[in-house]
Amino acid sequence: MLKQHFENGLIPENYMNRMEKLQEPFMKVYEQFTVPTNDQSFWDDVAKREWNAVVITEDWCGDAMMNVPIFFRITEAANIPTRVVYRDSTELIDHYLTNGTAKAIPIMVVFDEEGKEVAKWGPRAPEAQAFVDQQRATLPPKEAENFEEATKELYAGIQQKYVSDKELWNAVYESMKRIF
């Protein structure tokens, strides 16, 4: 199953070039995040395993906007061939539901040469989840007249943090690194 989705997926460069939403902030993270040089020997060891990866995502997703570029940088450092599949164009997400029900993205799946899953990450690092939970706690009740406007402002603020907070990027990186 994973091998088939890998074979039909987009290479990261094609995914980035085809993005219609959030491409600019996505590229900002991609261009500014670098894998720490002192971790390269770790990634060189991972590269010897000859794994592949599939990323399940959509280009409108704010979490993907921050997490996917960091994962791309990891897979580049570890020489892991990676493909992207769109959540809404495949049933693959049904195998990776968050809490058994939510089609939350992004999901990164690493697998061996036989197609057996060896690692999974997503949709958020614990630090990002804590930040989002903290922000959501400030929303007015759903019945409030300003709920929709407050929600839009909240997600704009979350997106801004995702694009600019390098400490959060490093927390995401460390969270991803732990799956290897």
The pTM (predicted TM-score) of the whole model is: 0.94
User: In tens digits, what is the pLDDT along the chain, a chain of 180 residues?
Assistant: 899 999 999 999 999 999 999 999 999 999 999 999 999 999 999 999 999 999 999 999 999 999 999 999 999 999 999 999 999 998 999 999 998 889 999 999 999 999 999 999 999 999 999 999 999 999 999 999 999 999 999 999 999 999 999 999 999 999 999 999
Domains of the chain: 2-123+166-177 (3.40.30.10)
Residue 53 to residue 153: CA distance in whole angstroms: 34
Residues paired with residue 108 on neighbouring β-strands, in sequence order: 55, 121
Q: What is the pLDDT, as a whole number, of residue 90? A: 85
Residue at 115: amino acid letter? G
